[in-house]
Amino acid sequence: MDLSRTLAGLGTALLATALLTGPAGAAPAGDPSTRDFGNGPERHETAAVETASLLSASRLSADAATGTSRWQPKHRGYPRQTTLPVWPVNPDDRSIKLGLIPYHEIAPKLNALQQASNRVSAEVIGKSAGGRDLYLVTVTAPESASDAAKQDRWRELIENDPKAADRDKTLKKSYKTPVWINANIHGNEWEGTDGSLRVIERLATATDAATGDFLKRSRVYVTVTNNPDGRVAGTRANGAGFDINRDHATSSQPESRAVRDVVINTQPYVMLDEHGYTGTTLIEPATPPHGQNYEYDLYIKHALPNAEGMEAAIQRLGYPETTRADIPFRDYAPGDWDDWPPIFTPMYAMYQGAIGHTVEIPLQVNNAAYNSLPVEELRRRSGINTDVAEATIEAALTYSDTNRASLLAGQIEQFRRGWAGEPSPTIPDGFVPGFGPEDRYSTTFPRAYVIPDGTPAAARLVNHLIDHDVRVKRAVHDFTVNGKRYDAGDYVLDMHQPKRGLANSLLEAGRDISNLVPQMYDISGWSHGLLWGAQVDASRYAAPRVLSVPVTRAAATGSVDAPRGRDLLLTLRDGNDVRAVNELLAQGIKLRRTAAATVVVPADARGEAAAVAKTLGVRFTAAPRGTKGDVFDQPVIAAAVAADELFALKEMGFAVRTVSTATLNAGADLSDVETLLVSSGLSYSGLNATGRATVDAYLARGGGVVTRGATGAAFNAAAALLPATAVAGRGDANGVVTVNNVGPVVGAGSLPHSFIYSPLWFTGSGFTVEQRYGALVAGHWLPNDAGTNGPAQAAGQAAVVSGTTAGGGNVVLFGTEPLFRAHPKGLYAQYARALFWSAS
């Protein structure tokens, strides 16, 4: 191990301490290179507010399941110029104060560049959560329609038949090097946009032969601002409150879906994701743990020298602030700045064949600095930052052009290994300077996965995989694998395919890496196979021997399987089941609930049930004759929750009124509310006399409560709801855990796995245990310094509890994370069952 990487770990020990003892997300003073804590104030201290952007994004998320919202390039030559719509002038755009380009000036600038140069093509590839245009700029030498079609065929050949691509001498000579630059994914990290526009303008207008020749050999793709909502508002998150750079495995947001489509359809050799601000410029490759599904030898072979080339470029700028860069792989200890999960843009792009880099420009101009520093100083910093962004992009373009043959060979090899089903090679120590045993992560790819058809969860997962360019087939006949019988129509993933790394990263259980690195700053477990509600069976060695056909969209799963005239039964196992209930309630249909997970639809609403079965893929069965149940209505919900939870509630069709400590103190009314959700931005002890009187009156009349996390547990204790004492695991502990479902509400029909981040468990008596913790399956969860509060201590403890308040209200306390970032889709229904029960 490189000694410098060991020494760098001293800073991370302080970071881990900060995560445990300081404010969420706090970094140690003087440590310039940190990322925001993955479960920070936005999920505990800030109550989400319902906005048009959030509502739009939740609708777009539902529409994305149809596959109709995907961007695909036009089959034309270059330039492919379009006149971009011009947005109204917005004097409140936060970019203006920094001397940077405001969003409303981007379209006019790109339109002018298109008019001035036949090398520039600009188009709209989607809409942000807030409805703003997302731009893709392509810079290349002009191509006829036949030339562009040839480039497309070569790109497809590289992925679909890499052996043939490797033999094609004309391809190797004439295929244009694709490079993708993504800018401003965090809205208040602005300067990547301005730096990339400089590069676009230079390439568009340069008259030297070298630039012309470069563009004959290359295509440069630029998503100029991946987060226009945040750029305008000066926020890290998009208009729906989501960090887009945590969404690439989930694709809940339109901005992440747009760049997913860009990387799939352009298949870049190299990509940069321009960020800020780390004090010292930071350029990946990252520290271990490295994603175990990468073809890491092909990546690090280029990532390290490319990063060092970018470092040299910023050094040539001559600023005191750019005398060096931090390259985490070279300079940091394991766990300080990892590339483990596929939630970040560069890590996701690696699975699509790219050498991905996060670039963090140095000088802070956002958050407190934005409001406290003089404008002159802010603009000085932004000027340097823009120069750094420009320099790193230019250096990456130079590296990509200089090494185009080797980069092409690497992409071909990555896809060839996938098709061949070859194990990833063992990388020797010293493969690149500093590579050692601490960098060696790998997995054994299964031969196949099988996903049985017939549920909305299966259809959702299959469509998600297809949207990410994973190959899925459907069996034509019944078949058997490893002694287990499957039906015709079930889905098969033959893992001999080009993007097996991405497929496996999404579907496998994952790995417990707790003992391999001292801390992780973001999620370390995320399994779609365990958390999305579908049955996913891995076949380690045997490929299903059955005729199968490629799938472009999953088959419809909805049905009404009951004789006419019979009441219908719907079991709440999936978020779509919950949405179906809410849609039927919104139509005024009198539904009955016989248990927490069972809803009865009257026989005369069969037509309405059939309609939601068709659109949502849910299955109604015949209710036993004489089934009674309690009639219920749509619950009136007041919610002090995080933005991701509000988004998930909207996905499930709940009508929600947002509240917070501030709104209650200002007189917000709870008189008609049936259940209060508390997880972020509501402190009982922070209520004034007005707010406390409102909450106390609500609880006294038997109002229900559902809580999550530390904020919810504190509310429970302060308001004396249930006699449950919350015990906290480490603040950065996260991942996939097994659970034992033992209770009648949350435990009824829930998955045997759950998700945690900053986990809690509950001790005491006088309540019902709904779920108990089992073991950590995948992720990172260490005990604290005293050796307590780890997974061993949590095992068998109550993860979720329910009970009744002194006022007669129903309460559920979650120590898990069932709605985290709208990701664990298979956990939605258990939260909804808690919500319906608490409102009863």
State the pLDDT at residue 40: 76
Residues with Cβ within 8 Å of 199's Cβ and at least 6 positions away in sequence, in order, are 181, 220, 222, 390, 393, 394, 397
Residues with Cβ within 8 Å of 325's Cβ and at least 6 positions away in sequence, in order, are 280, 281, 282, 283, 307, 310, 311, 314
* Pairwise CA distance, residues 279 & 381, whole Å: 11
Q: What is the pLDDT of residues 79-127, one digit of tens each?
A: 999 999 999 999 999 999 999 999 999 999 999 999 999 999 999 999 9
Q: Residue for token digits 């340097």?
A: 384
* Pairwise CA distance, residues 8 & 333, whole Å: 5
**Mean predicted lDDT score pLDDT of the chain:** 94
520 DSSP assignment = -
Q: What is the pLDDT of residues 495-505, one digit of tens each?
A: 999 999 999 99
Say whether pLDDT at 2 is over 70: no
State the pLDDT at residue 50: 83
Q: What is the pLDDT of residues 380-437, one digit of tens each?
A: 999 999 999 999 999 999 999 999 999 999 999 999 999 999 999 999 999 999 999 9
Task: Confirm if 246 and 344 have CB atoms less than 8 A apart.
Answer: yes
User: Which of 632, 646, 638 has its CA nearest to residue 698?
Assistant: 638
**CA distances in angstroms from 237 to 37, 225, 250, 357, 757, listed in the order given:** 14, 13, 16, 20, 19
**CA distances in angstroms from 247 to 187, 199, 512, 528, 799, listed in the order given:** 15, 28, 22, 13, 26
**7 HSE (CA, 13 A, CB side):** 5
Question: What torsion, rounded to 10 degrees, do the Cα atoms 344, 348, 353, 356 define?
Answer: 0
Count of beta carbons in the 10 Å neighbourhood of residue 311: 22
Residues with Cβ within 8 Å of 695's Cβ and at least 6 positions away in sequence, in order, are 664, 670, 676, 684, 687, 719
Say whether pLDDT at 220 is over 50: yes
User: Which of 208, 65, 202, 230 has its CA nearest to residue 134?
Assistant: 230
Q: Residue for token digits 């800073």?
A: 11
* Pairwise CA distance, residues 254 & 238, whole Å: 10
Query: For residue 456, which amino acid is it?
Result: P
| 0.75 surpassed by pTM | yes
Q: Which residues pair with 203 in a beta bridge?
A: none
State the pLDDT at residue 712: 98
* Pairwise CA distance, residues 136 & 128, whole Å: 13
Q: Residue for token digits 């996965």?
A: 449
State the pLDDT at residue 75: 87
State the pLDDT at residue 14: 32
Task: Confirm if 247 and 256 have CB atoms less than 8 A apart.
Answer: yes
* Pairwise CA distance, residues 47 & 405, whole Å: 51
**β 598-601/568-571 pair status:** antiparallel
**Helix H or strand E encompassing 296:** helix 296-315
Question: In a 3-state reduction of DSSP, which class is residue 823?
Answer: coil
**β 724-728/734-741 pair status:** unpaired
* Pairwise CA distance, residues 84 & 110, whole Å: 8
State the pLDDT at residue 54: 67
Query: For residue 586, which amino acid is it?
Result: A
Q: Residue for token digits 């034509």?
A: 476
State the pLDDT at residue 41: 80
Whole-angstrom Cα Rg for the chain: 27
Count of beta carbons in the 10 Å neighbourhood of residue 174: 14
* Pairwise CA distance, residues 56 & 43, whole Å: 21
Q: Is the previous residue joined to 752 through a cis bond, with omega within 30 degrees of 0?
A: no
**β 675-678/630-632 pair status:** unpaired
* Pairwise CA distance, residues 699 & 783, whole Å: 36
Query: For residue 91, which amino acid is it?
Result: P
Phi and psi torsions of 801, nearest 5°: -135, 160
Q: What is the pLDDT of residues 28-71, one digit of tens each?
A: 333 445 566 677 788 888 999 987 766 666 666 655 655 557 89
User: Which of 831, 812, 240, 254 has its CA nearest to residue 577?
Assistant: 831
* Pairwise CA distance, residues 618 & 611, whole Å: 10
Task: Confirm if 827 and 736 have CB atoms less than 8 A apart.
Answer: no
Say whether pLDDT at 26 is over 70: no
**Helix H or strand E encompassing 735:** strand 734-741
Phi and psi torsions of 55, nearest 5°: -65, -40
Q: Which residues pair with 361 in a beta bridge?
A: 276
* Pairwise CA distance, residues 754 & 828, whole Å: 11
* Pairwise CA distance, residues 815 & 710, whole Å: 8
> Which residue has better confidence, 793 or 57?
793
> Which residue has better confidence, 61 or 214?
214
Phi-psi region of 795 (alpha: psi -120 to 50; beta: other; left: phi over 0): beta
Task: Confirm if 47 and 643 have CB atoms less than 8 A apart.
Answer: no
* Pairwise CA distance, residues 346 & 268, whole Å: 11
**CA distances in angstroms from 607 to 508, 567, 653, listed in the order given:** 40, 12, 20
Query: For residue 212, which amino acid is it?
Result: G
Phi and psi torsions of 266, nearest 5°: -110, -25
Encoding tokens for residue 289? 């743990």
741 DSSP assignment = E
Interior angle at CA 709, CA 703 and CA 714, nearest 5? 65
Q: What is the pLDDT of residues 599-622, one digit of tens each?
A: 999 999 999 999 999 999 999 999
Alpha helices in 600-653 (DSSP H): 606-616, 643-651
Phi and psi torsions of 396, nearest 5°: -65, -35
State the pLDDT at residue 23: 29
Q: Residue for token digits 């004492």?
A: 725
Say whether pLDDT at 143 is over 90: yes
Encoding tokens for residue 4? 């410098």
The secondary structure of 80-111, three-state, reads CCCCCCCCCCCCCCCCHHHCCCCHHHHHHHHH
Say whether pLDDT at 166 is over 60: yes
Phi-psi region of 210 (alpha: psi -120 to 50; beta: other; left: phi over 0): alpha
* Pairwise CA distance, residues 567 & 574, whole Å: 21
Say whether pLDDT at 27 is over 50: no
Residues with Cβ within 8 Å of 697's Cβ and at least 6 positions away in sequence, in order, are 670, 671
Alpha helices in 352-403 (DSSP H): 367-372, 375-402
